[in-house]
Amino acid sequence: MNACLRDLATTGDYDQTEQWALLDRAPTTCHQHHRRFSLTPAISTVHSPSKPRHHPPPSWPLLPPPPPPPPPPRKGYFPKRNEVLELTCEGLAFKGKGVCKVDGSTFVLLCDGALPGERLLARVRRIRRGAFAEAAKLRTLEPHLDAVDAPCPLAADCGGCKTQSLAYDAQIRHKYLQVRELLVNFGKFDPRKLESSEPDAILKPIVPCDEIFRYRNKMEFSFGTKRWMQREWKEEKDDEVVKEEKTGGDVYSLGLHAPGFFDKVLHVEKCLLQSEPADKVLAIVQETWLDPALGLTPYDVHKHVGFLKHLMIRTGRNVNTGTPEVMVNFVTSCYKPELLEPLVNKITKIPEVVSIMNNVNTSVGNTSVGEEEYTLYGKPTITEMLRGLTFQISANSFFQTNTKQADVLYKLIGESAGLKGDGSETILDLFCGTGTIGLTLARRAKHVYGYEVVPEAIADAKKNAKLNSINNATFVQGDLNKINETFGKEFPKPDIIISDPNRPGMHMKLIKWLLEVKAPRIVYVSCNPATCARDLDYLCHGVEDKDLKGCYELKTVIPVDMFPHTPHIECICVLELC
């Protein structure tokens, strides 16, 4: 592998999963960026294949016995496309793919659905630049060590809850390990300082979720013309087809997109991630919409005909009573409220439903944001509370999807900001979205300045400030990837900078500006530990080829699990000016 991993992370040439998996094949010195620490193995082995196992042998009543696996390849071996291999999964990469190897080989094969400790049969699908391969799981040979029964019968097919059959303790242990390895390998932080037994250890224990089901306040289901029933991996195929889909033919469906398919929809009757009232809504829509007498048709993404596109269900809270309030949003290809009336009449019988909206989206794209929005029942917004503040949520506004854990996250961000509380400090809230972080801190600050690229989010942030009678917050729309020398002239030097970028992390222009402005403290909130580790490295160790000197010390990193059963990891990192 020739390219520097850090460049790959910046350019997005490889996705993060691939970059991470590549690390244990990477040269130990990057000539451009001079690694300070030798690379530790990127994947922490959680199971030695030679250890005895205590699981009963699996049974596959519906499948013929698997063919004997080929003899294990030796070290230095390189897989061939379509080869069937016996693999051991050693860890999880960032998007939840299993990091697998054949016994005695160091070659990495990424395999969707493989869980740490599992032995499996897989077919090699793609060799990526000769550096690693992607493999499709055929079947489990021996289950993983922390196996639990997935409560959702669709967990294996849906793609939303990739790790539901992994005990929650193991899920968060692997998330923690991913953060640690990325901080060492991408961030070049000394593993001894990250994890020492002293109280000043940088990497803190991962904060788990108290509620690991029913935690999502928003789910978006799609209507489709092709129902996805199940998928089955084929073993004995001499052609290039390794995957067969068993569809129910052109049967209408309402549910979640089958992983990797924009036109096939897995029929979902209930979802254990959404609230119980939201499940009631889904059940009523499911038992009603297929009645031929109603003349409701799903939108066909190939022919661009049909009416129903998406069903979005959001759950908030009445700020006075604390009881759930539900918004249902039908996204349709045109405005025909009379067609939705039978559904509306039934849904309104659910007491928690306070709002039914209709977003009309005439475009051929897959988005759920309509060009026009109509209120079919009740009010156009619902409310939610976060850190004692009230937020009004419309069908299309952004809001943290796990309210309870967002409260925990924001509390930790507040503590990490280390405000004196005397109202003397200026906070800069970069990538502020609808202003939630800045607003939760505003009461203890002199002034909050928020920056965000989406104009609607800025409008919501201003509304939220007003709703909570916060007068010391200014929200500005702007693209933080395109800042120039005028950036920073319109606000005083910040005492604390909060930066919460989305997955690609911060642009080099912003890194450069941060290194120039030298705020005493930065709280970096990240939903992608790979780009987070890269940006922390830049801020602490500098960027040699841009002639930028790092001037921050990494004080703490707190991983927070916001989304159990998914590969997502949030981190709160505190940097102090050296």
The residues binding ligand SAM (CB under 6 A) are 398, 400, 431-433, 436-437, 451-454, 457, 479-481, 500-502, 527
What is the DSSP pairing of strand 381-386 with strand 353-360? unpaired
Q: Give least dist CB 11 to ligand SAM, A.
A: 16
Which tokens is 195 given? Answer: 């994890």
Q: 325 vs 59, 193, 217, 373, CA distance in Å?
A: 45, 46, 10, 20
Q: What is the enclosing helix (H) or strand (E) of 11? A: helix 5-11
Q: Please identify, using beta-carbon distances, which residue of 138 and 510 lies nearer to ligand SAM.
A: 510
Partnered with residue 87 across adjacent β-strands are: 120
Q: Please identify, using beta-carbon distances, which residue of 278 and 437 lies nearer to ligand SAM.
A: 437
| 357 vs 343: CA distance, rounded Å | 12
Q: Please identify, using beta-carbon distances, which residue of 571 and 575 lies nearer to ligand SAM.
A: 571
Q: Give least dist CB 201 to ligand SAM, A.
A: 26
| 524 vs 571: CA distance, rounded Å | 8
Partnered with residue 220 across adjacent β-strands are: 312
Q: Give least dist CB 393 to ligand SAM, A.
A: 12
Annotated binding-site residue numbers for S-adenosyl-L-methionine: 400, 431, 452, 500
| 340 vs 343: CA distance, rounded Å | 5
527 is catalytic: yes
Q: Please identify, using beta-carbon distances, which residue of 412 and 457 lies nearer to ligand SAM.
A: 457
Q: Please identify, using beta-carbon distances, which residue of 187 and 450 lies nearer to ligand SAM.
A: 450
Q: Give least dist CB 400 to ligand SAM, A.
A: 6
Q: Please identify, using beta-carbon distances, which residue of 339 and 453 lies nearer to ligand SAM.
A: 453
Partnered with residue 570 across adjacent β-strands are: 560
| Residues whose CB falls within 8 Å of the CB of residue 59, separated by 6 or more in sequence, listed in order | none
Q: Give least dist CB 338 to ligand SAM, A.
A: 36
Residue owning tokens 């450069």: 512
Q: Please identify, using beta-carbon distances, which residue of 34 and 466 lies nearer to ligand SAM.
A: 466
Q: Give least dist CB 477 to ligand SAM, A.
A: 8
Please say whether the beta carbons of 275 and 326 come within 8 A: yes
Q: What is the enclosing helix (H) or strand (E) of 221? A: strand 218-224
Please say whether the beta carbons of 509 and 444 come within 8 A: no
| 377 vs 347: CA distance, rounded Å | 10
| 303 vs 263: CA distance, rounded Å | 11
Q: 498 vs 232, 363, 421, CA distance in Å?
A: 46, 36, 16
Partnered with residue 98 across adjacent β-strands are: 92, 111
Q: Give least dist CB 530 to ligand SAM, A.
A: 15
Give the end-to-end CA distance of the chain in Å, rounded to a whole number. Answer: 35
Annotated binding-site residue numbers: 400, 431, 452, 500
Q: Please identify, using beta-carbon distances, which residue of 88 and 528 lies nearer to ligand SAM.
A: 528
Please say whether the beta carbons of 561 and 569 come within 8 A: yes
| Residues whose CB falls within 8 Å of the CB of residue 412, separated by 6 or more in sequence, listed in order | 207, 558, 560, 572
- DSSP string across 76-118: T----TT-EEEEEEEEE-TTS-EEEE-TT----EEETT--TT-
Partnered with residue 384 across adjacent β-strands are: 391
Helix axes 529-541, 168-185, angle to 10 degrees: 30
User: Which parts of 99-250 fold into alpha helices (H)?
Assistant: 155-158, 168-185, 191-194
Please say whether the beta carbons of 328 and 311 come within 8 A: yes
| 394 vs 380: CA distance, rounded Å | 6
Q: Please identify, using beta-carbon distances, which residue of 116 and 501 lies nearer to ligand SAM.
A: 501
Please say whether the beta carbons of 73 and 115 come within 8 A: no
Active site residue: 4, 30, 527, 551, which one? Answer: 527
Task: Provide the annotated active-site residues.
Answer: 527
